[in-house]
Structure formats: C-alpha cells, structure tokens
Amino acid sequence: MQFLANSPSLILLPSSNPKISTNSYLFPHIKATNHIFPCFSTKITNTQFNYSLRAPRSSIKSCNYYSYKSINLGFYGTENHTPSKKFRVYCVNSVKMGFGFDGVDRKKVGIEDRLRAVMNVDKTVERESGEGKERENYDAIVIGSGIGGLVAATQLAVKGAKVLVLEKYVIPGGSSGFYEKAGYTFDVGSSVMFGFSDKGNLNLITQALAAVGCKMEVIPDPTTVHFHLPNNLSVRVHREYSDFIAELTTRFPHEKDGILKFYGKCWKIFNALNSLELKSLEEPIYLFGQFFQKPLECLTLAYYLPQNAGAIARKYIKDPQLLSFIDAECFIVSTVNAMQTPMINASMVLCDRHFGGINYPVGGVGKIAKSLAQGLVDHGSNILYKANVKNIILEHGKAVGVRLSDGSEYYARTIISNATRWDTFGKLLKAEHLPKEEEDFQKLYVKAPSFLSIHMGVKAEVLPPDTDCHHFVLESDWKNLEEPYGSIFLSIPTILDSSLAPSGHHILHIFTTSSIDDWQGLSPSDYNKKKELIADEIISRLEKKLFPGLKSSILFKEVGSPKTHRRFLARDSGTYGPMPRSVPKGLLGMPFNTTAVDGLYCVGDSCFPGQGVIAVAFSGIMCAHRVAADIGIEKSSPALDAALLGLLRWFRTLA
Ligand SMILES: NC(=O)c1ccc[n+]([C@@H]2O[C@H](COP(=O)([O-])OP(=O)(O)OC[C@H]3O[C@@H](n4cnc5c(N)ncnc54)[C@H](O)[C@@H]3O)[C@@H](O)[C@H]2O)c1
Ligand SMILES: CC(C)=CCC/C(C)=C/C=C/C(C)=C/C=C/C(C)=C/C=C/C=C(C)/C=C/C=C(C)/C=C/C=C(\C)CCC=C(C)C
C-alpha cells in the first residue's frame, strides 16, 4: 500500500468490535483492523445521509455520514458478516486528488471508485473543481444518465471498461426519473414500459438490468392504454392480442380483414426483430453474422427499414376513422401520425405490448434508473451528480474529454453524449464544428414539441371501479390529434402500485403536447398564471370526459411547462425527442451512434431508432457494442468497419 503514503486518506476503524473483519470483496487489499485507503476527493456538504453501498458481492448495506468526519457502515447479515457491525471512517485529509495512481493496478483504482459510489442518488455531494486532470483514465465518459446513457455505461462496465457518467441533475434517469413530494412518488415521464418482460430478445430493459445483476419486481398492466376518441370511439388495448383484435373488430366489423392484415404485418416484423440478438448495426462482424444466421429475418427488416406504418395501413384499410385510430396508436409513441412513424418502430410497440406485455416496476419507473446507476457502481465504474458538462474537449479533431461548468476537466478514450443531438452539437461542441452528417440530421428531423405536465394527488373515490392505468383522450375532432393541447395523455400508476401514494389517494399524471414558444417572454407571475389556467382547462376536459368531480378531489397539484422540462431534463426547448420534418423514409435517415467527430458517440433518442425508453435502451446497447469494439474489448475489423460505416453513411443520404 505504498501508494497510500502520500495520499489523502480515509482511515477505517472498527468502531466497537475490534475483531470485525473488513469486507474482503469491497476492500480486497485491506487485511488489518485499522484500514487506510485513498480518499475520494469530495466535500460532504450535508451532515446526515443514508447511503446504499451495494457492491455485487459486498455485504455492505448502508453507510451513514454522521458528521463531516465520520461514516458508519452497516452490513448485511451473510454467512461471513454479522449484521449491523459498524466501522468508523475518518476523513483524515480532504485534499483534492486526481484519478489514477502511478503503479497502482485497476483493482486498486476500482476501490477508490467504489468509495466514490457513496455519492449515491439520495445525497448531495459536491465535487471540488480542478480534480480529475489525469489523462485517459477512463475508457468512456458518458454525458447524462438518461436510460440511453445508463444502458451504454452499464453495458460497457460489464464488458470490463471503466466508465464515468456525468449527470447534471441530482438523480439518474432524465425523462425516466422520479420525484417525491407530499408522500407521492411521481414518474417524471410516461409509465408505459415496453421491453420489460421476461420473454424473448426484445425485453431490453429487463436485459439491461440483468446485465448488472438486477431483477425488478413488476406488475403486469392488463390494458396498455384505453383510447377515448372522437365519435365516442372507445378502444381498450388489452394485454391479450386476441381480446384487443376482438374489441377493434367489434368497432370496425367491415374492416376485420384489413385489421388482421395490418397487425399481421406488424407481427411479421416483430418476430424478425425478436429472433435477432440485438447489438450494434454499425459493427460489421456482428451484422454480417446475423445476416448469415438469420437471412430471412434480416432481409425482412431491411425491406421494412425505409417504410412507414401509415402507408402500409393504407394498403389494407380504407375506413378513415380506423386509419385515424392507427394514427392515434402511432402518435402516443412517436408524437407524429402513422404516415410519419417508421414501420419497424410501430411494429415493435404494437406487438411487444401483447408479446411481453406492459409491466410496471414496483416502486415506480425511477427505480429502473436507480438500479442501473447502482449496478454501474457495483461494476467498478462511477457516476457523479451535479456534474454539468459545458464542453466536449477536442484535440486534433478528436473528442478526448469534457469540461464541467465548475471548470473541472475529465478525460477518456471515448466520449458518449446522452444529451440530444441539438444540445451535443449546438452547445457542447461549438457551432463551427457542426459536421455535414449533423446538418443532414437537422434537415430530416426537427425537435418534437415538449409537454405541459400536471402531477396530481387525488382522493381515490373519484375514480370509477375498474379504471385503467393509461388513457389517451381526444374528444371531438381527429384534426386536433397533433395540435398543441389537442389530446391528453393520462397515467394513473397507483392503479397498479398503490405504494406510490398515501393510502386512499391516487396519482394522476396528465400531459399534453406544448411548444416552448408558447411560454417565452412571460413575467414570472404571468408564467405561473398561464400554467394554472392551462392546467385548469385540461383538468376540466378530463372531468367532463372521464371523472366527474375530479377538481374537487384534488389534494396535490404541480404543473410543469416546456421550460420545466428544459430546465430539469437539459433538453433543448424541452423537446420530447426528434420527429421527422416531413414523411421520412422509415428509419433510414436516423443516425446510429458514431458521429463525424472521432472519439465522440451519441446515445439516446436522437439516435436510431428514436424516441421511447426501450428505443433508447437499444441505442445504449448498440453504442456500448460499437465503443467496445473501438477500444479493443470486443472483436473488430478496421477494414470492414470503414466499409460498413461508409455504406451506412451513403444509405442515410437516400433518406
Ligand atoms: N418526456 C417524457 O415524458 C418522457 C418520459 C419517459 C420517457 N421518455 C423517453 O425517454 C427518452 C429520452 O431518453 P434519453 O436516454 O435519450 O435521455 P434523457 O433526456 O432521458 O436523459 C438525458 C440525461 O442527460 C442529462 N444531461 C443532458 N445534458 C447534460 C450535460 N450537459 N451535462 C450533464 N448531464 C446532462 C440530463 O440531465 C438527463 O438526465 C425520450 O425519447 C422518451 O421516449 C420521455
Ligand atoms: C444495418 C441496416 C441498415 C440494415 C440491416 C437490416 C437489419 C438487420 C435491421 C435491423 C433493425 C433493428 C434491429 C431495429 C430495431 C429496432 C427497435 C428495437 C425499435 C424499437 C422501437 C421502440 C419504440 C419506438 C418505443 C417507443 C415507446 C414510446 C415512445 C413509449 C411512450 C409511451 C407513451 C408516451 C405512453 C403514452 C402514455 C399514455 C398515458 C397513453
């Protein structure tokens, strides 16, 4: 432990029982009862925290900071460890320290990293500026901890890479985060979770969690969504495909054949997708391997790649109202109508809801990101909160690091941005760096509007018995589908998980599309008045359509505007994600993860295949695979890489 001699250090002393043995997994090099190991260069700003320090094979359960100087660690009771023994950890010296130690192997650096893990989601810990100036310590830095960023980071970590995630906010998850107020646990965004079953190859959320040793308890949703549409058209999307088809064909008996053919095509594509092992489509050894093993399935996907759901629906269906229903089916997952929704994406969501079903995580959607962040740390990588990346540092045209708003810099072999492409190439890189590929992306895709969202707690009795968890409401005119405030999304997650609200109460999360332009230039009081006014109108509409007495049942209400989304999710204009400027060629124009800047990758919803939690999880899996190949921890062939990347670039110009 020579390297410790001159380092700022923490001393770990058993507080009461001198015979207690240190966890040999978490601190493998520590054998004695008085322990010294490197200090993580943080300042603890709060005095009383409750940490969760769960390394996979560690028995440490909790870590409480009782004062600036001492920490108590509690232990799980396993065969090796007595429960609730305590160590006192003294912060001997809080001098800043960079990453990496000369002559120290990765395992030891990993120990320091795990200590950094105490900067867990429930705490406020500030970094000191100027730290971390050592070069190339990380294999990858991920900017942002949305599901896209976290999946990329965890996939890389389990492959053995050393990753640092830098998150601007105080918890992970971005749009899939959570917040707690007045006894309620609110999902920041939607509560409809695709890809969260235990079946097939497309359960990407389940797989991402399993990769880091997590399995979450879920509650099956019997109805994906209950549509309340013009002309009193009411359609429930039942979990069982046959029940859904029976309901839809009851509403449109004359279109039974068309309905079966359209949804049948979706199944053909879904089954092809579900037969593949999903990895980076930018990695030739994998891609050619899949073509070799599953030629028919790959050709099916290649055939449908440039097509949209609306055009295919029109081949089989003539009834305008049914076509509008399919528009609504697409709109709720893509914020655009069926003519603009890629057929592969439509197939994915229209079938997964019946194949694996929609499943809600016990404790709320926010637990997915929390578990991934914990899994990342358990695998020896890091996540820092309140770490606002201001710039990507380029050297000789290569992305080599990032600079934070406090001036500190971090360096890595690769940089992965989970910020939107508009933020990545408009803010994190200077405008003069906008590459041709990004110009092309911005010609094809625009920022989808943001949302006005209302989080409410209501008296449980206002909901009729058998109320479904998810609703989509478009009252009178199909033309309003894509208009701002035209349609209303409603999630009531407490229908599935009552633990999210105080007993006898329900959560209503109401959201509707809204553009940030509508909210600019208002004084603070006008801004607040406008939020209340629009929220009141939306609630009145729901009261009239679904829940009489809704207004008088409200116990808690908080309204977020597009500005709120911009502020808390760090998304340009608070956008929900990219949407095609006109009718796209399916997914053909959507960029993958590599960018024109050497060493810089993007992940998240401005990458293939676009918006959606499962979509960004796929983008994370693809990104990790491509990065792993580029840094030499997965197989790659530079000659084939150049050929495939060139070919894909050319394909995109056809979009
Ligand atoms: N808006 C919604 O209602 C909603 C709800 C649920 C899910 N979703 C889905 O989630 C998808 C987005 O997921 P995603 O993974 O692409 O990203 P995301 O927007 O959810 O997460 C990005 C994260 O990056 C962080 N970040 C951005 N810029 C940063 C910077 N400069 N420095 C440090 N951190 C920074 C943000 O704080 C955020 O946590 C959407 O497409 C949508 O489908 C949206
Ligand atoms: C390499 C080339 C060019 C060709 C080779 C051919 C080939 C092998 C192609 C392979 C293609 C693949 C593997 C494609 C994979 C595509 C996937 C996995 C697409 C997934 C899409 C998922 C989507 C779009 C999910 C969207 C979900 C959303 C947005 C959910 C949101 C939900 C709401 C907002 C809920 C609404 C809420 C209420 C309350 C109603």
- Residue 289 located in a structural domain: no
Best residue for ligand 1 mutational test, from 605, 606, 618, 621 (most atoms within 8 Å of Cβ): 605
Domain of 431, in residue numbers: 137-217+362-445+578-654
Q: Is the CB of 286 under 6 A from ligand 2?
A: no
Q: Give the pLDDT score at 302.
A: 98
Q: Rounded to the nearest whole angstrom, what is the distance from the C-alpha of residue 346 to the centroid of ligand 2?
A: 7
- Residue 373 located in a structural domain: yes
The residue whose CA has the least distance to atom 38 of ligand 1 is 174
Q: Is the CB of 409 under 6 A from ligand 1?
A: no
Tens-digit pLDDT profile for residues 404-439 = 999 999 999 999 999 999 999 999 998 676 899 999
Q: Is 128:96 a contact under the CB 8 Å cutoff?
A: yes
Q: Give the pLDDT score at 135.
A: 66
What CATH number should be reported for the domain holding residue 147? 3.50.50.60
Q: Rounded to the nearest whole angstrom, what is the distance from the C-alpha of residue 179 to the centroid of ligand 1?
A: 15
| 13-22, 150-159, 205-214, 293-302: segment of lowest average pLDDT | 13-22
Query: How far is it, in rounded angstroms, from Cα 586 to Cα 345?
Result: 9
- Residue 350 located in a structural domain: no
pLDDT at 182 over 80: yes
Query: How far is it, in rounded angstroms, from Cα 456 to Cα 643?
Result: 53
- Residue 646 located in a structural domain: yes
Q: Is the CB of 115 under 6 A from ligand 1?
A: no
Query: How far is it, in rounded angstroms, from Cα 447 to Cα 449?
Result: 6
What's the mean pLDDT in 305-323?
Answer: 98
Strand pairing of 163-166 and 138-143?
A: parallel
Q: Give the pLDDT score at 190.
A: 78
What is the domain count for the chain? 1
Q: Rounded to the nearest whole angstrom, what is the distance from the C-alpha of residue 293 to the centroid of ligand 2?
A: 22
Higher pLDDT, 23 or 491: 491
Instruction: Give the ranges where 212-339 is alpha helix by DSSP (H).
Output: 241-251, 256-275, 284-293, 295-304, 309-316, 320-334
pLDDT at 6 over 60: no
pLDDT at 103 over 60: no
- Residue 378 located in a structural domain: yes
Q: Rounded to the nearest whole angstrom, what is the distance from the C-alpha of residue 610 to the centroid of ligand 1?
A: 12
Strand partners, 186: 179
Q: Is the CB of 587 under 6 A from ligand 2?
A: no
Tens-digit pLDDT profile for residues 110-120 = 333 333 333 33
- Residue 400 located in a structural domain: yes
Q: Give the pLDDT score at 137.
A: 85
- Residue 391 located in a structural domain: yes
User: For ligand 1, what atom is nearest to the CA of residue 511?
Assistant: 3
Q: Give the strand order in the sheet containing 49-52.
A: 35-38, 9-14, 87-91, 70-75, 60-65, 49-52
- Residue 199 located in a structural domain: yes
Q: Is the CB of 449 under 6 A from ligand 1?
A: no
Mean of per-residue pLDDT scores for the chain: 83
Tokens of 48: 């009383």
Strand partners, 176: none
pLDDT interval class at 136 (50, 70, 90): low
Best residue for ligand 2 mutational test, from 201, 299, 348, 473 (most atoms within 8 Å of Cβ): 348
> Around Cβ 454, how many Cβ atoms within 10 Å?
24
Tens-digit pLDDT profile for residues 598-638 = 999 999 999 999 999 999 999 999 999 999 999 999 999 99
Q: Is the CB of 143 under 6 A from ligand 1?
A: yes
Q: Is the CB of 364 under 6 A from ligand 1?
A: no
